[in-house]
Amino acid sequence: MTVLVAVTDTPEGAHALTVGKEEAERLRTELLVLNLSLTEFAPTEIAVVSGVDVLDRAGREARDPAVAVLDLIQERPDIERLVIGVKRRSRVGKALLGSVSQRLILHSPVSVLAVKNE
């Protein structure tokens, strides 16, 4: 079993990384981190995940982050849990724009742990 954390360069992404690390430790399993931001991790984030496989989003820069996560889950049958960070949005924002998090929650073939930053 592997826990996958989809991380962005936001406070929500950093919180998801911390919670994902705790979840992997609790389950005594591997942690895999997918960097969705197209930039390198900040030094404090690297310290949280030292000794962990960190993958960068592959493909063209315009590639949809949700598709990148779902493709990785399909390629890696050992992934059994996905951890993502979410932020509060208005009803109108949800209806008009949608979000990567929302699509992952609705379409992920594995359990999703969605965490809010405090």
Query: In order of start, what are the domains of the chain with their CATH numbers?
Result: 2-116 (3.40.50.620)
Q: Rounded to whole angstroms, how far apart are CA atoms 45 and 63? A: 24
Distance CA 17, CA 46 (A): 10
* Whole-number pLDDT of residue 93: 56
Summarised one tens digit per residue, pLDDT across range 68-116 is 899 999 999 999 999 999 887 666 555 545 688 888 988 999 999 999 8
Per-residue pLDDT, 96: 47
Q: CB atoms < 10 A from the CB of 57, how many? A: 20
How high is the pLDDT of residue 51? 67
In whole angstroms, what is the distance from residue 80 CA to residue 32 CA? 11
* Per-residue confidence (pLDDT) for residue 9, from 0 to 100: 83
pTM, entire model: 0.83
| Mean pLDDT score across all residues of the chain | 82
**Residues sharing a CB contact under 8 Å with residue 116, sequence separation 6 or more, in sequence order:** 12, 15, 85, 86, 87, 88
**pLDDT value at residue 35:** 87
